[in-house]
């Protein structure tokens, strides 16, 4: 069944925790699952922050291929909600991009600053090859990683300018924050609670993105 790529894309912005499955070094052939906070990067790929000493990191160093499960909910109602299993390879973020990635990740997970301060943590990004999306009963199918988003990613400098626009907007109420912006929506925090404001249509330029953000600010005024 052909599934809507946009539904899978938005899911990757709505779940703050995923399940990472790496190839176990100590028991060859067995998967090694672990719960993992993540943030979507500009291409909607999961970014994870891991210790160099962690078992899953050592597994990735031996074999970067992995599975990553993202679910709308991880409670007893999980089968009623959307979920996606991503398959691909985790690649370490190079030093040139690490600072920008850290700024983005900390907007989603401010408490991670204490891990960065330890010095032995680094970022990895999942290069998605394929994903299996299940949107509920009767809606399931495979997507190629390249089909997730055919548009050019929003450049970091444009996102930074839009975040500045959002934060200084006169209609923004106290307690409304933005973690990330892309052409399809904005990841917000309302009094500390994360939510996704989905745009009515993809926004291809800065002017239309500003208009969409203004709409989001006004809708969250109460």
Query: Whole-model pTM?
Result: 0.93
Q: How confident is the model at residue 37 (pLDDT cuts 50, 70, 90)?
A: very high
Kindly state whether residues 39 and 125 are assigned to the same domain.
Answer: yes
Helix spans in the chain (H): 5-11, 55-62, 95-108, 113-116, 156-167, 206-219
Domain count of the chain?
Answer: 2
Kindly state whether residues 169 and 143 are assigned to the same domain.
Answer: no
Coil, helix or strand for 213? helix
Q: What is the pLDDT of residues 78-117, one digit of tens each?
A: 778 899 999 999 999 998 899 999 999 999 999 999 999 9
Kindly state whether residues 72 and 110 are assigned to the same domain.
Answer: yes
CA quadruple 6, 197, 159, 39: dihedral positive or negative? negative
Average pLDDT in the 119-141 region?
93
The CATH number of whichever domain residue 19 belongs to comes to 2.30.110.10
Q: What is the pLDDT of residues 196-216, one digit of tens each?
A: 999 999 999 999 999 999 999
Is beta strand 185-190 parallel, antiparallel or unpaired with respect to 31-37?
unpaired
Name the domain boundary from 114, 147, 180. Answer: 147
Q: Phi, psi at residue 134, to the nearest 5°? A: -125, 115
What is the span of the domain harbouring residue 143?
Answer: 5-147
Q: Tell me the average pLDDT of the chain.
A: 94
Name the domain boundary from 96, 112, 147. Answer: 147
């Amino acid at each position: 069944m052909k599934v809507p790529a946009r539904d899978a894309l938005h899911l990757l912005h709505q779940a703050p925790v995923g399940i990472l499955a790496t190839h176990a070094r100590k028991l060859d052939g067995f998967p090694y699952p672990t719960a993992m906070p993540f943030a979507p990067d500009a291409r909607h790929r999961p970014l994870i922050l891991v210790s160099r000493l962690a078992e899953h990191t050592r597994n990735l160093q031996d074999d970067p291929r992995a599975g990553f499960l993202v679910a709308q909910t991880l409670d007893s109602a999980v089968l009623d909600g959307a979920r996606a299993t991503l398959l691909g390879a985790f690649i370490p973020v190079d030093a040139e991009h690490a600072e920008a990635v850290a700024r983005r990740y900390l907007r989603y997970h401010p408490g991670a600053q204490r891990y960065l301060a330890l010095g032995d943590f680094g970022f990895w990004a999942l290069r998605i090859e394929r994903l299996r999306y299940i949107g509920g009963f009767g809606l399931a199918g495979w997507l190629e990683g390249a089909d997730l988003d055919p548009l050019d990613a929003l450049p970091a400098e444009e996102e930074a300018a839009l975040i500045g626009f959002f934060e200084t907007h006169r209609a923004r109420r106290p307690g409304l924050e933005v973690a990330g912006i892309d052409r399809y929506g904005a990841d917000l925090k309302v009094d500390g609670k994360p939510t996704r404001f989905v745009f009515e249509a993809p926004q291809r330029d800065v002017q239309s993105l500003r208009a969409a953000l203004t709409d989001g600010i006004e809708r969250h005024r109460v």
